[in-house]
């Protein structure tokens, strides 16, 4: 008999339910709060899993209770939201998505795993893989952006980075793909609201990143809080048990979101906690986070015949298997220990590099960037706000460990006088500091405006109906622009989403910095002073107006495409239909020209591949990196296909005057799509291949191939 079978045979019902329960240690944002109730629950075997606990000694103390003072000595599983770093904070995931660099995504996850494991953590509730096309939604900050193929690439890289090649390693974390599924499509961009998407959208847009995570071996998956077409995901047997476990073969642990099982009562599909617990268990959820639904509800559900002991044992077995895979039975204390100064220095260097490369240069008129010499004024509520650089879900990151914009510039320009004025607070109505900020701007040669959101304005439960500049920042922008005419004005936007800021677009340069993390100020100095050329590309379409939302590049063709000259077409009376910046937009300090696209072979069968080669020439004055996108369009199909679908991307760095060839492959099978019956369909016919710097159709080169 295996260890797991022996343990299950020896367990009481209460001990089984303890292994299916995850309880917070209260170590979230404000610090550790250990309670005698938690300790007593662990000792009784009523709590087998803990979240929001970190610090090697804290974790060891809790673990000793489990393995030395419980009857069966089953180790604890300790989880933490290591979303974009642990103590060293990397850019928010939406910012990291702008890298379009799988190696960098994997590297940052690997370092986050090492750092969190050194703090005793076993499991991270990441990556978040919710495709989102509505910047009002706060959690767009945590995900891959608007494209399913990009989500797939991030899923593979992050799972590999967190879990490495051996889940039992002392420096690995079990990854958790969340939030399955279509959470990014909440109505009105409001967190926790209903979702209602077609089965086609589900299969083409929202499922692919999770399918990639399963194929990559993700250890755990978290269903969304929300319903999907009237069925809450915590009780969605069709998608959890039938599709995820059945069709995809996922055999890992399904963990509920925080209190989500109890919320089935509020959803109106369960009358009481016993019914809620039974629905979740029958759907395949193994672990109940913070609802106490399994501990308090399953005994009654058993008595009513709503679940069986076999159902419970199957979930317990999966939880124990995960603990075994993590090596916790063999050595429950294997994670946790100091890291060397060299390791920490290298990690900060990676955070600086990733932060710099995640930033997207949206506009650069008159070569406002990189900065020239002269007097510099740093103005705005985000200029000296180190803590805000962390963004949402900053785990164990501390404000005092972050570098502000002002500090980064002063370190990069020692001896140079750099003026500073906040002007306004992020959200305050106080305008009393605007006049002084305007005067400072007027006295400078270069003005750096640091604008945007606080860290708390994006992430969970942080949705915005008006995703522009909060508070009186617009008044500050107007005053600076009016008082600094003829000066170089550089606007830096800090946010967890695209911001609709037409007033800012009057600045000479606009840089989307997202929330860059611990090394924010140093990374920005690298960009501003020309040490590093910007290379980020926006992973979401950037809207001009709220009324355009949701806006995304891969829409299907209309029978009446937008034409303002023809009234009965798909356009707005009062706004352009195009985004402010398309998906993939991002400038650099180079000037890339695309030429000589060649795609071969001319036709291919289902098991074959196409190869696209394109020449790039850097006509700029500086070395720069460029991301090249390959899109496809199936011209005639049984189901209308999007005008553009991202199929691959690659990068090249070129010196001034240098040319190079980017080679991108496309498997013919990757042009399959859900047919009329929603099953994968390979359909012969012509396919247009388009290659360019973004999803702007006017900047692409194209060729036509044939599927046979």
What is the spatial distance between Cα 607 and Cα 298, in angstroms, rounded to a whole number? 49
257 has catalytic annotation: yes
Peptide bond between residue 179 and the one before it cis (omega within 30 degrees of 0): yes
Neighbouring C-beta atoms of residue 672, cutoff 10 Å: 16
Which tokens is 633 given? 């369009």
Q: What is the DSSP letter of 54?
A: -
Q: Are 444 and 484 in contact (CB under 8 A)?
A: yes
What is the spatial distance between Cα 567 and Cα 97, in angstroms, rounded to a whole number? 38
What is the spatial distance between Cα 661 and Cα 596, in angstroms, rounded to a whole number? 10
Peptide bond between residue 550 and the one before it cis (omega within 30 degrees of 0): yes
Residue bearing tokens 């622009």: 481
| Per-position b or e across 349-375, b if 16+ CB within 10 A of its CB | ebbbbbbbbbbbbbbbeeebbbbeeee
Q: What is the DSSP letter of 240?
A: I
Q: What is the DSSP letter of 85?
A: B
Q: Strand 253-254 and strand 220-223: pairing?
A: parallel
How are strands ordered across the β-sheet holding 220-223? 176-180, 220-223, 253-254
Which tokens is 254 given? 């399904």
Which tokens is 439 given? 């005067």
Q: Which of 257, 286, 526, 634 is catalytic?
A: 257
Query: Considering only CA atoms, which of 583, 589, 584, 595 is closest in space to residue 654?
Result: 589
Q: Are 175 and 221 in contact (CB under 8 A)?
A: no
| Element (DSSP H or E) covering residue 201 | helix 199-201
What is the spatial distance between Cα 431 and Cα 435, in angstroms, rounded to a whole number? 8
Which tokens is 545 given? 């107006």
Cite the beta strand spans of 273-334 per DSSP E: 288-289
Under DSSP, is residue 146 helix (H, G, I), strand (E, B) or coil?
A: coil
What is the spatial distance between Cα 77 and Cα 22, in angstroms, rounded to a whole number? 9
In this structure, the chain runs to a length of: 708
Residues tagged active-site: 257
């Amino acid at each position: 008999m295996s260890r797991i079978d022996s343990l299950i045979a020896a367990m009481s019902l209460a001990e089984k339910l303890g292994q299916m329960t995850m309880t917070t240690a209260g170590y979230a944002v404000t610090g550790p709060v250990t309670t005698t109730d938690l300790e007593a629950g662990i000792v009784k075997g009523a709590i087998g899993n803990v979240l929001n606990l970190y610090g090697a000694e804290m974790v060891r103390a809790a673990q000793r209770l489990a393995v030395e003072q419980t009857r069966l000595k089953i180790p604890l599983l300790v989880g933490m939201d290591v979303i974009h770093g642990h103590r060293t904070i990397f850019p928010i995931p939406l910012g990291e998505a702008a890298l379009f660099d799988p190696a960098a995504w994997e590297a940052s996850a690997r370092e986050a795993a090492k750092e969190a494991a050194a703090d005793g953590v076993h499991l991270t509730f990441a990556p978040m893989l919710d495709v989102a096309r509505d910047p009002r939604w706060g959690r767009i900050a945590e995900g891959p952006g608007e494209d399913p193929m990009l989500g797939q690439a991030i899923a593979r890289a992050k799972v590999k980075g967190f879990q490495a090649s051996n889940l039992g390693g002392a420096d690995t974390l079990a990854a958790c793909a969340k939030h399955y599924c279509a959470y990014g499509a909440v109505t009105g961009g409001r967190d926790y609201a209903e979702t209602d998407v077609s089965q086609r959208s589900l299969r083409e847009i929202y499922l692919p990143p999770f399918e990639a995570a399963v194929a990559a071996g993700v250890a755990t998956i978290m269903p969304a809080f929300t319903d999907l077409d009237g069925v809450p995901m915590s009780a969605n047997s069709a998608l959890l048990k039938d599709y995820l476990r059945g069709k995809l073969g996922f055999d890992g642990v399904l963990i509920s979101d925080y209190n989500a099982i109890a919320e089935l009562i509020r959803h109106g599909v369960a009358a009481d906690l016993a019914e809620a617990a039974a629905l979740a268990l029958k759907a395949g959820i193994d672990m109940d986070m913070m609802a106490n639904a399994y501990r308090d509800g399953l005994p009654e559900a058993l008595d009513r015949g709503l679940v069986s002991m076999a159902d419970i044992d199957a979930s317990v077995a999966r939880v124990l298997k995960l603990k075994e895979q993590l090596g916790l039975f063999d050595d429950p204390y294997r994670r946790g220990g100091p890291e060397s100064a060299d390791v920490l220095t290298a990690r900060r260097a990676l955070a600086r590099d990733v932060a710099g490369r995640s930033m997207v240069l949206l506009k650069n008129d008159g070569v406002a960037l990189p900065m020239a010499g002269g007097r510099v004024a740093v103005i705005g509520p985000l200029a000296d706000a180190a803590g805000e650089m962390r963004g949402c879900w900053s785990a164990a990151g501390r404000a005092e460990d972050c570098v502000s914009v002002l500090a980064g510039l002063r370190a990069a320009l020692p001896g140079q006088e750099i003026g500073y004025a906040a002007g306004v607070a992020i959200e305050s109505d106080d305008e009393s500091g605007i006049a002084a900020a305007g005067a400072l701007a007027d006295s400078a040669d270069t003005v750096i405006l640091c604008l945007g959101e606080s860290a708390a304005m994006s992430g969970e439960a942080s949705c915005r109906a008006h995703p522009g500049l909060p508070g009186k920042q617009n008044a500050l922008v107007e005053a600076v622009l009016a008082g600094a005419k003829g000066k170089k004005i550089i606007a830096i936007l800090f946010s967890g989403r695209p911001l609709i800021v037409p007033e800012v677009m009057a600045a000479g340069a606009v840089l989307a910095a997202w929330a860059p993390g611990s090394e924010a100020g140093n990374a920005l100095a690298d960009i501003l002073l020309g040490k590093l050329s910007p290379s980020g590309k926006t992973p979401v379409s950037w809207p001009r107006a709220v009324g355009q939302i949701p806006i995304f590049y891969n829409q299907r063709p209309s029978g009446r495409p937008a034409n303002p000259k023809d009234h009965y077409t798909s356009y707005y009376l009062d706004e352009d239909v195009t985004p402010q910046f398309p998906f993939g937009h991002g400038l650099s300090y180079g000037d890339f020209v695309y030429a000589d696209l060649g795609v071969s072979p001319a036709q291919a069968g289902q098991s074959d591949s196409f190869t696209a080669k394109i020449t790039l020439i850097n006509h700029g004055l500086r070395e720069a990196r460029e991301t090249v996108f390959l899109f496809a369009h199936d011209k005639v199909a049984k189901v209308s296909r999007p005008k553009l679908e991202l199929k691959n991307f690659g990068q090249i760095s070129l010196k001034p005057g240098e040319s190079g060839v980017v080679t991108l492959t496309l498997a013919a099978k990757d042009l399959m799509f859900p047919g009329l019956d929603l099953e994968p369909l390979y359909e012969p016919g012509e396919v247009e291949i388009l290659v360019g710097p973004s999803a702007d159709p006017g900047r692409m080169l194209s060729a036509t191939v044939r599927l046979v």
